[in-house]
Amino acid sequence: MTKTRTIHLLAILYLAALTLLPAAARAEGPDCATCHEDLATGKSVHPAVMMGCASCHTAVDAADVPHKITNRNPKGLSAKMKDLCFGCHEKKNFQKTTVHGALMLGCTSCHNPHVSDHARVLKEEIPRLCLHCHEEKLSTLTAQNNATHAHAKTDRCSDCHSPHATDTPKLVLTKPQGNGDGKTALIQKPSVPQQ
């Protein structure tokens, strides 16, 4: 069983135990949702939220308001962000030949660590999320090649590209259709006759 599956199984068992225990037995610490309800309710809730705030925020003294942070990590996180995320998410999936530059910005550049109205706790829907960084590059690429990317602005970028890392160029999940030269899926614009 992989580490991720084990963690997911533990999270499910933990949640099942919470629903079976009486409220008095669960009351081991402060109820953060009393003040931070917006961080625990939404269409897409990060499973770590259901494991309890202290699963990530170990250095927050909730008894004091405003909260005192008892370590040097932002928001009282138990580790630096990437290391904290790799506690549940397998690191090898993010360390391949081609790594998305957004990973250098941190997981929260694309994901909300708590809740979101979008799948996979993304901050926005794809392709809008991707175009925050890639629209200018996409425009330059299409202008240089007198072409347009076949699916830009209409389809999910993640249908063809990994949002994290791959062993293929340009984060392509499978080989692109066409002549096999490895170029981006571009459709040539018709040339305009000169007058």
Euclidean distance between CA atoms 153 and 135, whole angstroms: 9
pLDDT tens per residue across span 127-186 = 889 988 888 767 665 566 566 666 665 567 888 899 999 999 999 987 544 444 445 554
- Specify the higher pLDDT residue, 50 or 7: 50
pLDDT of residue 117: 95
Q: How confident is the model at residue 191 (pLDDT cuts 50, 70, 90)?
A: very low
- 35-39, 66-70, 102-106, 135-139: lowest mean pLDDT where? 135-139
In the structure encoding, which two tokens stand for residue 18, read together? Answer: 């919470």
pLDDT of residue 68: 92
How does DSSP assign 99-141, residue by residue? E-THHHH-GGGTB-SSEESSGGGBSS-TTHHHHHHHHHHHHHH
Residue type, 38: D
Kindly report the pTM of this predicted structure.
Answer: 0.70
Instruction: Check whether 101 has a pLDDT greater than 50.
Output: yes
Least Cα distance to 100 among 178, 13, 166, 14 occurs for 166
pLDDT of residue 148: 62
What is the sign of the dihedral through the CA atoms of 53, 81, 47 and 55? negative
Q: How confident is the model at residue 13 (pLDDT cuts 50, 70, 90)?
A: low
Instruction: Check whether 114 has a pLDDT greater than 90.
Output: yes
Q: How confident is the model at residue 188 (pLDDT cuts 50, 70, 90)?
A: very low
pLDDT of residue 115: 96
